[in-house]
Structure 1
Amino acid sequence: MTEPFSLLMAVYRGDHPVHFAKAFASSVGAQSRRPAQVVLVQDGPVSPGLEGAIETAIADSPVPVVHHRIDENVGLAGALAEGLALSDHDVVARMDADDISLPERFAAQLPLIEDGLDLVGTGMLEFLDDDGSIVGRRVPRSDEDEIRRYARFHDPFSHPTVVYRRSAVEHAGGYQPLGLMEDYWLFARMIHAGARVGNLPEPLVMYRVGAGAYARRGGRAQWRSEMALQRAFRRIGFTTRGEYLRNVVVRGGYRFVPEPVRKLAYRRFIARGDAPEGRDLT
């Protein structure tokens, strides 16, 4: 049975108007299987340029758009929680405001949801801000049992690529703020709660890689978020004591290695999808 689905996007003042316009168009009008509804959450005040891009996207959209404004910036988890509550459909697709969906994305993902999965991601192509050139390919684990094992060490899903059932998200407790790790925290809780999960290895989303992409993966703030995440995993029993200690050492230590080393590790072990268990570093 073919089910209608909602597209959930959030925008905030840091998003670029042109990038947003491309993200919206690629995920709505350009799709061979379009969403039945778009829920667009505006997380706090935005620039006049972005406001104009939002108005244009809504006016040109071939499907209805719910434009939900939040007066003050509440962060991604809070914005998505509010947007999810406004979705008309149980099936919801996520998209970020600066990436690009390829035309067959939803046509490929939705049948897996309709066949019984609760959460489905895809592979990604990474491209540069300046000239659009492809610089990498991220290939996720696709086997469900392997995803469940892998999730104890590394986020097995790329948030901008996922489609999920809202009921499964709500069953796991919904979006909850956790520093910079709210997506990984949600997916781990969904897996822990028994959600059926999968990934398509094909790259169906283009992920924008700008200046500072690798620098943002390190530093004290990222380390604090990492430690909070690992404590949360241990608290709910998602990881064993041994896995917790290994993650603190390996993943926590990764936040303080020099940026060139972090970039090399990411390109070698993460983006190619061949990281051995226990060595996942992002």
Structure 2
Amino acid sequence: MMNARDGPRPTQFSVLIPVYEKNDASQVDDALESTISQTTPPDQMVVVVDGPVPTRVDETIHGWSSEHPETVDVVQLEENRGLENALNVGLERCDHELVARMDADDVSSETRFERQLEVFRRQPDVDVVGGYVGEFVDDPDQVSHVRTVPTAPAEIERFARFRSPINHPTVMYKKSQVQAAGGYRTIPGVGDYELWVRLLERGNVLRNVPAVLVYMRAGAEMYRRRGGIGYARTEFRLQKEFLERGFIPPRVFLLNVGLRIPLRLLPNGARRLLYSRFLR
């Protein structure tokens, strides 16, 4: 008997893009353009507007919706309740089993979806497919650094005990498996990391494509979001939870906390330097 995870092999897919008040209209336009203009374009693009957004952002989104009414599905939330809530709401709206994530200020490589679909076709047991991120400041053609991750399932599982093994904005996953695992929990900054660990604990198979799938802006704001006492507390609680769940042993817990918590408390410039030199 065929396992539900093994087939039939899907070819149609949705793209899930959350947008909120701090997104820039021109960057949103670039993100939607790179999504529509793929070598394998999506069958559905769910844009979740997480609360009120600036007029130009709203006009940009509805411009794309008017131009591609058969593809772009806009979900307007009355108030901003955070990324994880927006993703869970958007996931419910996605019509297809395969769902690709996309951030509203990133740019997808033109063959991203084609590459990910090929993995699902060749390896139907796989549940999540991510890839590398190319970081840039102003021009996605001028990549300053490539954020690599392990590619094989066994390597990903080992890596996950120390750091997030999947670049969240690059993923395409099986909707049924993410929802069966409980969807996104509200853990600001590290909710995706917890989701990957939860999927690994359930026996799901994660892979990464050894290629840049998404180009991400990497200015000072990105590093600022990864620091502060609030972020440090959240990360400590998550590592403690991993320890209590048996995902990491005590020595790994101590190592992770000893390395990560001081990093979050450093000044932004010093944290940026350490990330760029040692923590990729």
TM-score (norm 2): 0.91
Are residue 157 (structure 1) and residue 149 (structure 2) matched? no
Which whole-Å deviations, capped at 9, do the CAs of 1:87-144 have from their partners, x for residues lacking one? Answer: 1111100000000001100000112123221011111111103796321111111121
Other-structure match for 2:65 = 58
Per the alignment, in what secondary structure is the counterpart of residue 198 of structure 1?
Answer: strand
Per the alignment, in what secondary structure is the counterpart of residue 212 of structure 1?
Answer: helix
Report how many aligned residue pairs link the two structures: 270
Task: For 1:195-210, list aligned pairs within 5 A.
Answer: 195-210=204-219
Task: For 1:31-70, list aligned pairs within 5 A.
Answer: 31-61=38-68, 63-70=70-77
Are residue 79 (structure 1) and residue 86 (structure 2) matched? yes
Q: CA deviation at 1:213?
A: 2.4
Are residue 24 (structure 1) and residue 32 (structure 2) matched? yes
Instruction: Determine if contact 2:42/2:71 at 8 Å carries over to the other structure.
Output: no
Which whole-Å deviations, capped at 9, do the CAs of 1:207-259 have from their partners, x for residues lacking one? Answer: 11123322332211210121121122223222122222221111112212343
Task: For 1:54-203, list aligned pairs within 5 A.
Answer: 54-61=61-68, 63-114=70-121, 115-116=123-124, 117-129=126-138, 133-203=142-212
Are residue 251 (structure 1) and residue 260 (structure 2) matched? yes
Q: CA deviation at 1:62?
A: 7.2
Structure-1 separation of matches of 2:213 and 2:262? 32
* Structure 1 counterpart of 2:265, one-letter code: F
Q: CA deviation at 1:63?
A: 4.5
Instruction: Determine if contact 1:171/1:193 at 8 Å carries over to the other structure.
Output: no
Aligned-CA RMSD value: 1.7
Structure-2 separation of matches of 1:112 and 1:15? 31
Structure-1 separation of matches of 2:171 and 2:140? 26
Structure-2 separation of matches of 1:236 and 1:53? 44
* Structure 1 counterpart of 2:264, one-letter code: R
Structure-1 separation of matches of 2:69 and 2:217? 25
Instruction: Determine if contact 1:35/1:63 at 8 Å carries over to the other structure.
Output: no
2:237 to 218, 228, 232: 228
Structure-2 separation of matches of 1:267 and 1:24? 28
Instruction: Determine if contact 1:8/1:40 at 8 Å carries over to the other structure.
Output: yes
Q: CA deviation at 1:171?
A: 2.1
Other-structure match for 1:9 = 17
Structure-2 separation of matches of 1:41 and 1:209? 23
Per the alignment, in what secondary structure is the counterpart of residue 129 of structure 2?
Answer: strand
Per the alignment, in what secondary structure is the counterpart of residue 214 of structure 1?
Answer: helix
Comparing 37-46 with 220-229, greater Cα deviation is found at 220-229
* Structure 2 counterpart of 1:90, one-letter code: E
Other-structure match for 2:276 = 267
Structure-2 separation of matches of 1:269 and 1:35? 36
Q: 1:63 to 1:210 in 2, by over 3 A?
A: farther
Q: 1:62 to 1:45 in 2, by over 3 A?
A: closer
Other-structure match for 2:3 = none
Per the alignment, in what secondary structure is the counterpart of residue 27 of structure 1?
Answer: helix
Q: CA deviation at 1:51?
A: 0.6
Per the alignment, in what secondary structure is the counterpart of residue 213 of structure 1?
Answer: helix
Structure-2 separation of matches of 1:205 and 1:167? 24
* Structure 1 counterpart of 2:20, one-letter code: Y
Instruction: Determine if contact 1:41/1:79 at 8 Å carries over to the other structure.
Output: yes
Which whole-Å deviations, capped at 9, do the CAs of 1:26-72 have from their partners, x for residues lacking one? Answer: 012x1011111111111001111111011111122374222111101
Instruction: Determine if contact 1:178/1:228 at 8 Å carries over to the other structure.
Output: no
Instruction: Determine if contact 1:142/1:200 at 8 Å carries over to the other structure.
Output: yes
Comparing 131-140 with 217-226, greater Cα deviation is found at 131-140
Comparing 130-139 with 211-220, greater Cα deviation is found at 130-139
* Structure 2 counterpart of 1:36, one-letter code: D
TM-score (norm 1): 0.90
Q: Please, which runs of 5 or more residues in structure 2 have no aligned partner?
A: 1-8
Moved over 4 A (4+): none
* Structure 1 counterpart of 2:164, one-letter code: D
Structure-2 separation of matches of 1:262 and 1:231? 23
Q: 1:3 to 1:199 in 2, by over 3 A?
A: same
